[in-house]
Structure 1
Amino acid sequence: MTPGRPVRVVCVGDSNTRGQAAVDYVELLRRRFRSRPFEFVNRGVNFDLAANVLARLDRVIADEPDIVTILIGTNDANATLSDENRRVITMAKRPARLTIDGYREDLLGIVQRLKQHTRARIGLLSLPALGEEPDSPANRRAAEYSAVVEEVAAAAGAAYLPLHERQVAHLRSLPGPPGTAYRSGYFLASTASLQHFLLRRSLDAIAARRGLSLTTDTLHQNSRGAGMIADLIEEFADRTAGEVPPGEEFSDAE
């Protein structure tokens, strides 16, 4: 921590961090910490992949962060689920590769570069649920990518923040299946955006109309999903600001 200034927390990620098509969890954190000496910086970019984050780390480094949280991988994982998803991501970001091995290498590169050029404590969040059916192929893929996040965190000395596990546990606690199932393509996301920006419906209202608990469109977080992200980052920030010994692992113990 830097004496004389607030603890600077830089939140890095894709559209779920950017907070336009999703409820803005960075703003939730700002509200929670309003009376405390913390500053939250939003470095989310729509459609980003891990490779894109790695390529734009200069801006994060220039922020001189005390804490960096990274929530990336939804687009990487989603692109592997269908040719349609891959085409959309490729048009948006022109990635060189879209494989789980490439994701592992890029995520490791992100942590290593941040460790080399900053003194920040780094927290890696596992992926949000992909769709709201806990045992669907989409969520199994999200679990595979989340296992990579945990592996990289252990190998590179970062904290692992178990978002996927918390969200899947929540979904398993619900009495029945979601009202809207995950589907390939971005129809659900694009129609949610039209409702939100043109019809001025809240993201939570869109989620409720679709029978969804955590998301508006099976990809982007509603208030409950964003709140789970904020919970994990709040816990991590509190622990870090409290000078937890570096060798002590982040725990998901309730």
Structure 2
Amino acid sequence: MKIACIGDSLTEGKPGVSFFNMLKRKYPDIKFVNLGKGGETVKSLHTRLSKNKLDQDYDLAFLWIGVNDIYSKLLKVQAQPITRNSEEFREIYEQVLELVSQSSKEVVAVSPAVIGENINSSNRGLLNLSMIIKEISKEHKNITFIDLHQAFTEQLETLHTSDYLSTGLGRLVKDVFFYRNPKRVDRLAAERGLHLTIDGVHLNSRGANIVVEKYSRIIEGLQPNN
């Protein structure tokens, strides 16, 4: 089986804990391809996939994109273009989904998870994007939807959460270079009062495990002996 994981820094695996590496260790006989790129928005991903065609032999592709269409508005530097509104996000997302669908037998559309571990206006924006992705997924037979936004918020509703959210580029760069070991990531997350992320967006071990659990259900459902 050959599986593509397509998305932004959350898929790329830095900063924070890489769910992708966890999947590779869990399923050593499956070929995983990491197509995550830091800072990616739905617009920039569309440009990348249009210029660099995907392999045509994927059995499964996970498409996890959208958080930077909200998160980058909070950053001091916007490296990639973002969609202007919900209508444009829907239009570009559908085009991205079509490109991915041409390259994989099965596609999983994954909603953005969280921006900050408190329920705030940014997370309400992510909820809107999640609803759009869910609606689009229902319109296609070979598309499965994973609602990571709901999975993360349900966990956080039972916890005392911190307001910490990293919005400085310098801080993000430091986290990338100095916090690569999962134990160090988890220690920093705890110091910041965070439960599922290292900085309000990128994953710590607990957050990465949620992603692995959701992805694993899909993977195991497609394996020949299931």
Which category describes the TM-score, using the shorter chain as reference length? 0.7 to 0.9
Q: Post-superposition shift, 1:240?
A: 2.5
Cα gap change, 1:211 to 1:96, in 2 (>3 Å) = closer
List, as ranges, runs of 4+ consecutive aligned residues in structure 1 with deviation greater than 4 Å: 183-188
1:111 and 1:156 in contact (8 A); partners too: no
Counterpart code for 2:61: V
Q: Structure 1: which amino acid aligns with 2:156? A: L
- Find out whether 1:52 has 2:44 as its counterpart: yes
What's the counterpart of residue 154 of structure 2?
Answer: 169
Q: Give the drift of 1:44.
A: 0.4
Q: CA deviation at 1:118?
A: 2.5
Q: Which residue in the other structure is 2:77 paired with?
A: 88
Distance (whole Å) between structure 2 residues aligned to residue 200 and residue 127 of structure 1: 22
Q: Shift in Å at residue 120 of structure 1?
A: 2.1
Kept in 1, the 8 Å contact 2:182–2:205? The answer is no
- Alpha-carbon distance between aligned partners in 2 of 1:185 and 1:101, rounded to the nearest angstrom: 29
Q: Any gaps of 5 or more consecutive residues in structure 2?
A: none
2:69 alignment partner in structure 1: 76
> Retained in 1: the 8 A contact 2:70–2:125?
yes
Pick from 118, 130, 140: which aligns with 2:103? 118
Q: Is the 8 A contact 2:16 2:179 kept in 1?
A: no
1:200 is displaced (CA, Å) by 10
Provide closer, same or farther for how the CA distance between residues 200 and 171 of structure 1 changes in structure 2, counting only shifts above 3 A: closer
**Which of these residues, 179, 196, 200, is aligned with residue 179 of structure 2?**
196
| 2:144 paired with 1:152 | no
Query: Would you say the 8 A contact 1:11–1:43 is kept in 2?
Result: yes
1:25–1:229: 8 Å Cα contact kept in structure 2?
yes
**C-alpha deviation, 1:218, in angstroms:** 0.7
Segments of structure 1 that go 5 or more residues without pairing to the other structure are 1-6, 245-254
Q: 3-state SS of the aligned residue for 2:129?
A: helix
Q: 1:79 to 1:194 in 2, by over 3 A?
A: same
Cα deviation, 1:4-63, whole Å, max 9, x if unaligned, reads xxx0010001001111212111110011112xx311111000100111222222646226
Residue 23 of structure 2 is matched in structure 1 by: 29
Q: Percent identity?
A: 23
User: Which residue is equivalent to 2:121?
Assistant: 137
Q: Does 1:224 align with 2:206?
A: yes
Partner AA of 2:165 in structure 1: Y
Amino acid of the structure 2 residue aligned with 1:65: Y
User: Partner of 1:182 in structure 2?
Assistant: 165
Whether the aligned pair in 2 keeps the contact of 1:76 and 1:99 (CA below 8 Å) is no
1:16 equivalent to 2:13? Answer no
Distance 2:116 2:182 in 1: 24
8 Å CA contact 2:41, 2:66 repeated in 1: yes
Determine which structure has more spread, i.e. the larger CA radius of gyration. Answer: 1
Classify the secondary structure of the residue corresponding to 1:66: strand
Inter-partner Cα distance in structure 2 for 1:127 and 1:14: 10
Distance 1:96 1:126 in 2: 17
- Tell me: CA distance 1:45–1:167, structure 2 relative to 1, closer, same or farther (3 Å): same
